[in-house]
Amino acid sequence: MKTFMPTTDTRGREWVHIDAEGKTLGRLASAVADILRGKNKPTFTPHLDCGDFVIITNADKIKVTGNKLKDKIYHRHSGYPGGHKQINLEKLLKTHPDRVLEKAIKGMLPHNRLGDAQYGKLNIYNTPDHPHVSQKPRTLELSDKGELLSGN
């Protein structure tokens, strides 16, 4: 018997919708990263992009535990002297809540061209509406422990 190797024809990508309202940031990001990579499928292959497209709505209603709102700091640098900027999680959630999820999910993907391709299948919206209705996304629920439960 030969080893099965997924190809572009046998990948079977689908669209998945996840509502982030009331979900914990890290557990949600971990579950979404697994879907983007395709780790939830029996045909997972580490060196191929066999994951699904993901739509996340209500990104502004995620929750974090502990003192992370005040203590967690995001850093960036412009490349110029004195160009170090930092912002805490509380301010970033008020101004750009989608960036918080994007940064958490991107950090859990491979840091190479494959990870960039997988990250390109992520769509995050701060409202409950999204423009991907015509793709007929399947809704998934996330348990309190971060495990995926099938929705509709």
| Residue numbers of the domain that contains 105 | 15-63+98-150
Give residue 152's pLDDT: 63
93 found inside a domain? no
pLDDT at 151: 65
CATH code for the domain in which residue 37 is found: 3.90.1180.10
* Residue 140 placed within a domain: yes
Q: Tally the domains of the chain.
A: 1
Measured CA to CA, the distance from residue 117 to residue 9 in angstroms comes to 17
What pLDDT, on a 0 to 100 scale, did the predictor assign at position 21? 94
3-state secondary structure of 87: strand
Asked whether residue 16 carries a pLDDT value surpassing 90, the answer given is: yes
Please indicate, yes or no, if residue 41 is contained in any of the structural domains.
Answer: yes
Residue 53 pLDDT exceeds 70:
yes
Per-residue pLDDT reduced to its tens digit, 78-132: 999 999 999 999 999 999 999 999 999 999 999 999 999 999 999 999 999 999 9
User: At residue 59, what is the residue type?
Assistant: A
Residue 53 is assigned to a structural domain of this protein? yes
- The reply to whether 117 falls in a domain is yes
Tokens representing residue 30 in the block: 């971990």
Q: What is the mean pLDDT of residues 68-77?
A: 96
CA 76/CA 53 separation, integer angstroms: 28
Whether residue 10 lies inside any domain: the answer is: no
* Residue among 48, 65, 68 at smallest CA distance from 117: 48
Please check whether residue 86 lies inside any domain of the structure. Answer: no
Whether residue 72 lies inside any domain: the answer is no
Separation of alpha carbons 32 and 108, rounded Å: 9
Rounded Cα distance between 11 and 48, Å, is 10
Q: Which among 73, 49, 75, 62 has a CA at the least distance from the CA of 19?
A: 62
Residue 51 has pLDDT above 90, yes or no: yes
